[in-house]
Amino acid sequence: MAITIKNDNQIAIMRAAGKIHARILNELEELITPGISAKELDIIAEQKVRAAGAEPSFLGYSPDRHTPKYPASLCVSINDVIVHGIPTNDMIIKDGDIVSIDLGLKYKNMFTDSARTVIVGNVSKEKAQLVHDTREALALGIAAAQPGNTVGDIGHAIESFNNKRYGNVKELSGHGVGLAVHEDPYVPNYGKAGAGATLKPGMIIAIEPMFNLGTSNVKFHNDGYTVTTADKQVSAHVEHTVLITENGSEILTEL
Our CB check for Mg ion shows the closer of 63 and 148 to be 63
What is the contact mask toward Mg ion in residues 44 to 83, using x (rule: CB under 5 A)?
----------------------------------------
How far is 100 from 74, CA to CA, in rounded Å? 10
* Per-residue x/- track, 134-153, Mg ion (CB under 5 A): --------------------
Of 42, 55, 80, 113, the residue at the interface with Mg ion (CB under 5 A) is: 113
Integer Cα distance of 164 and 167 in angstroms: 7
Each residue 118-137 as x (binds Mg ion by CB under 5 A) or -, in order, gives: --------------------
Could you write out the DSSP letters of every residue in 117-148? EEE-SS--HHHHHHHHHHHHHHHHHHHH--TT
Q: Provide, rounded to whole angstroms, the least separation between the CB of residue 122 and Mg ion.
A: 27
Distance CA 95, CA 90 (A): 16
DSSP letter, residue 239: B
Per-residue contact flags (x/-) with Mg ion for residues 148 to 187, judged by CB under 5 A: ----------------------------------------
Q: How many residues does the chain have?
A: 255
- Written as one string, the DSSP assignment of 175-211 is EE-SSSSSEEEEE-SS--TT-SPBP-TT-EEEE--EE
Stretch of residues binding Mg ion (CB under 5 A), selected from 20-28, 136-144, 214-222, 232-240: 232-240
- Of 18-26, 64-72, 152-160, 239-247, the window that binds Mg ion (rule: CB under 5 A) is 239-247
Stretch binding Mg ion (CB under 5 A), from 39-47, 148-156, 187-195, 235-243: 235-243
Q: Distance between CA atoms of 205 and 105, rounded to whole angstroms?
A: 14
Please tell me whether residue 206 binds Mg ion under the rule CB under 5 A: yes
- Scored b (16 or more CB within 10 A) or e, 52-71 reads bebbbbbbeeeeeeeeeebe
> Which residues are near Mg ion by CB under 5 A?
102, 113, 115, 206, 239
